[in-house]
């Protein structure tokens, strides 16, 4: 016989005790209530398998109580017990939701039979419900593991990032998701996001050793998003063999708040994703080994073009920047003949090695031909690409085998770069502009006057050379000499400041050297009031070089004062150097009454580099 928990409801004590005694004797667990109100309270607090209730009671009658109870739990079994032999009352009880109808006085056997049938139905319904729940859970787990296997089978790291974001958001019912993946330095770098996330609020990188992420990554547990309301957002660690490989943020559940089920599902997918990231990296490393040039170790052009296509996809989807750099050796045949086969091969191999020391793991260096190389620089704007080319040239020039080769023939190195989307939105456009800048460098005064041969920090020697009227300047050049004019220099300072204000987010450098007081420099009045870029990280840096002089120190987020009280060379010159993503300009005025100005990008960059080296200014 099926037993269960039964609630007896009757306003008469005699019948409550009688029914309770009969049912308890049959092995059931019984509670009693003296009114409809008490019965509803107990039903709200405890779980019962069956309710036996009188229909005629003071206050809330049995029919009302039955309707309220069934409204709260439609599966609840209810049997009416009444002393009135009234067909209409029996019909009303059945319509209200009763499964059976008994008349007082109740025979113990009849009561046991009715209770047994009702409890059997309850047991069948619960078993059926449990089977349905188990089947649904099985189906959900099967779907979860199928999705996880899709992730595990993806060896392309770029596709893996998008797939992982999609699956994590789906299994957690999240409307917003973001993904950070460990870079070559172990920092977690933002690689993708989707849905209802505020891109500006997402950090570009996360330190996996910093609180509160360190403990979650080490223990492999979810982390509630700091500052968010409970159940609003959480982080999922992506690890493999104890190594932190990534972090996912899931936010804004479509229905209600995130609970344990959503977090457990996301954590299961996160485990597979961590393993998949590690496998994809191993595959990528093996793939790269088979796609390198045997002589130099640079990648081949086919791999470069394939990788560039993926970078275009990411940049367009997530609004990122990247740059394409071209490194050309203009006199390959001369170097080969002058250096001989062995020295030439060693120097070219070391040249690629020098560039490789500057590139990051995510950058791709490819050999296009004997004298031309491409470099893909993800997450790099045009200013960053210019700084990369400068550092690459410096590394190449100090390479011992390259220096040995240059003793026999000069290494004519030309470089140029183009940035997405500023210079173009497809590969051909970027390559066109990068090569155009290579040509501009070939025609630059730096190449024509061999200015790159000057010693590091030889800034004033370079200034004297450019101001010297006996040194000829080529026609149709972006450089010229003109009479010195103090008002012109003041106007140029203001114009440089206005250029910064036009796009405060564009990165750049402005150096203003003046023998007058720094606090009176005209550039200060025209600078934008606030720094661009991320908070606390100005996009443009302005350096004022000169004597301490009178007046209060300059208080501006973009400006750094560099006091050069004892520098006699600066006392006789006026200097303005401006280098940014959009512009390159230099203006030099000397004590002899002459001035020189130029928009020759390689020359402006060289002047900036020499100035930084001379005064130990922070290179960018």
User: At 146, is the pLDDT very low, low, confident or very high (cuts 50, 70, 90)?
Assistant: confident
| List of residues 6+ apart from 116 with CB closer than 8 A | 1, 2
CATH 3.40.640.10 fits 157-288, yes or no: no
For 587, half-sphere exposure in the C-beta direction (CA atoms, 13 angstrom radius) is 21
The contacts of residue 11 (CB under 8 Å, 6+ apart) are 34, 35, 54, 57, 58
Question: Which homologous superfamily does the CATH classification assign to the domain defined by 293-442?
Answer: Reverse transcriptase/Diguanylate cyclase domain (3.30.70.270)
Question: What average pLDDT does this structure show over 103-123?
Answer: 82
Average pLDDT over residues 63-79: 85
Strands 174-182 and 243-253: antiparallel
Residue 353 sits at φ, ψ, to 5 deg, of -65, -35
pLDDT of residue 534: 44
Average pLDDT over residues 40-56: 87
E strand or H helix at 269, and its extent?
A: helix 260-289
Q: How many helices (H) and strands (E) does the chain have?
A: 19, 22
The answer, yes or no, to whether residue 284 has pLDDT greater than 60, is yes
Q: What is the pLDDT of residue 404?
A: 93
pLDDT at 69: 86
Residue 516, C-beta contacts closer than 8 angstroms, at least 6 positions apart: 546, 549
> What pLDDT digit, counting tens, does each position of 184-214 carry?
778 899 988 988 888 888 998 899 888 889 8
Is the model's pLDDT at 115 over the cut of 50? yes
More confident residue, 72 or 604: 604
CATH of domain 5-125: 3.40.50.2300
The better pLDDT of the pair 533, 58 is held by 58
Please state the domain extents for the chain: 5-125, 157-288, 293-442, 459-615
What is the Cα–Cα distance from 9 to 249, expressed in whole angstroms? 52
Summarised one tens digit per residue, pLDDT across range 507-540 is 889 999 887 777 778 888 888 776 554 444 567 8
**pLDDT on residue 323:** 94
Checking if the pLDDT of 618 tops 90, the result is: no
CATH 3.30.2170 for domain 459-615, yes or no, is: no
Of 154, 171, 392, 373, the closest CA to residue 273 belongs to 154
Q: What is the pLDDT of residue 536?
A: 46
Query: Which tens digits make up the pLDDT trace of 92-106?
Result: 888 888 878 888 888
Q: What is the pTM of this model?
A: 0.60
For helices 108-152 and 13-25, what crossing angle results, to 10°? 70
């Amino acid at each position: 016989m099926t037993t269960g928990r039964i609630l007896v409801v009757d306003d008469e004590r005699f019948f409550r005790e009688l029914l309770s005694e009969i049912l308890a004797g049959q092995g059931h667990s019984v509670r009693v209530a003296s009114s409809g109100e008490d019965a509803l309270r107990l039903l709200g607090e405890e779980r019962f398998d069956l309710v036996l209730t009188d229909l005629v009671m003071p206050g809330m009658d049995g029919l009302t109580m039955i309707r309220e109870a069934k409204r709260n739990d439609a599966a609840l079994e209810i049997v009416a017990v009444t002393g009135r032999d009234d067909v209409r009352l029996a019909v009303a009880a059945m319509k209200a939701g009763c499964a059976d109808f008994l008349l007082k006085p109740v025979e113990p056997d009849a009561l046991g039979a009715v209770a047994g049938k009702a409890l059997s139905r309850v047991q069948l319904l619960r078993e059926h419900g449990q089977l349905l729940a188990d089947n649904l859970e099985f189906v959900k787990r099967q779907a979860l593991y199928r999705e996880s296997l899709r992730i595990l089978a993806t060896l392309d790291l770029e596709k893996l990032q998008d797939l992982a974001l999609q699956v994590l958001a789906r299994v957690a019912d999240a409307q917003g998701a973001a993904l950070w993946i460990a870079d070559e330095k172990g920092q977690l770098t933002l690689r993708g996001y989707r849905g209802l996330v505020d891109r500006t609020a997402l950090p570009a990188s996360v330190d996996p050793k910093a609180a509160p992420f360190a403990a979650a990554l080490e223990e492999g547990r979810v982390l509630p998003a700091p500052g968010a309301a409970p159940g609003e957002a959480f982080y999922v660690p992506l690890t493999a063999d104890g190594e932190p490989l990534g972090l996912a943020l899931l936010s804004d559940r479509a229905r209600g708040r995130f609970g344990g089920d959503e977090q457990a599902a996301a954590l299961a997918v996160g485990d597979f994703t961590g393993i998949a990231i590690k496998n994809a990296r191993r595959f990528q490393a093996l793939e790269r080994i088979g796609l390198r040039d045997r002589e130099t170790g640079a990648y081949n052009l086919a791999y470069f073009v394939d990788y560039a296509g993926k970078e275009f996809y990411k940049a367009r989807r997530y609004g990122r920047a990247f740059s394409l750099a071209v490194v050309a050796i203009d006199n390959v045949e001369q170097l080969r003949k002058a250096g001989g086969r062995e020295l030439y091969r060693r120097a070219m191999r070391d040249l690629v090695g020098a560039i490789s020391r500057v590139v990051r793991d995510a950058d791709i260096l490819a050999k296009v031909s004997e004298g031309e190389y491409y470099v893909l620089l993800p997450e790099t704007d045009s200013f960053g690409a210019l700084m990369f080319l400068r550092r690459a040239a410096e590394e190449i020039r100090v390479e011992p085998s390259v220096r040995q080769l240059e003793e026999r023939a000069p290494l004519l190195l030309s470089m140029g770069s183009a940035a997405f989307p500023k210079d173009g939105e497809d590969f051909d456009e970027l390559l066109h502009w990068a090569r155009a800048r290579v040509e501009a460098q070939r025609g630059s005064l730096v190449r024509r006057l061999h200015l790159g041969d000057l010693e590091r920090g030889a800034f004033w020697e370079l200034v004297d050379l450019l101001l010297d009227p006996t040194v000829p300047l080529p026609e149709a050049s972006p450089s010229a000499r003109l009479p010195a004019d103090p008002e012109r220099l003041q106007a140029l300072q203001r114009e440089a400041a206005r250029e910064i204000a036009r796009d405060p987010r564009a990165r750049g450098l402005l150096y203003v050297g003046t023998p007058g007081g720094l606090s009176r420099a005209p550039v200060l009045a025209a600078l934008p009031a606030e720094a661009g870029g991320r908070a606390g990280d100005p996009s443009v840096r302005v350096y004022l070089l000169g004597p301490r002089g009178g007046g209060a120190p300059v208080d501006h987020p973009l400006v750094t004062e560099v006091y050069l009280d004892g520098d006699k060379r600066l006392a006789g010159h006026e200097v303005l150097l401006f280098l940014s993503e959009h512009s390159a300009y230099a203006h030099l005025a000397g004590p002899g009454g002459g001035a020189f100005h130029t928009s020759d990008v390689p020359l402006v960059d060289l002047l900036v580099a020499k100035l930084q080296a001379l005064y130990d200014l922070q290179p960018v």
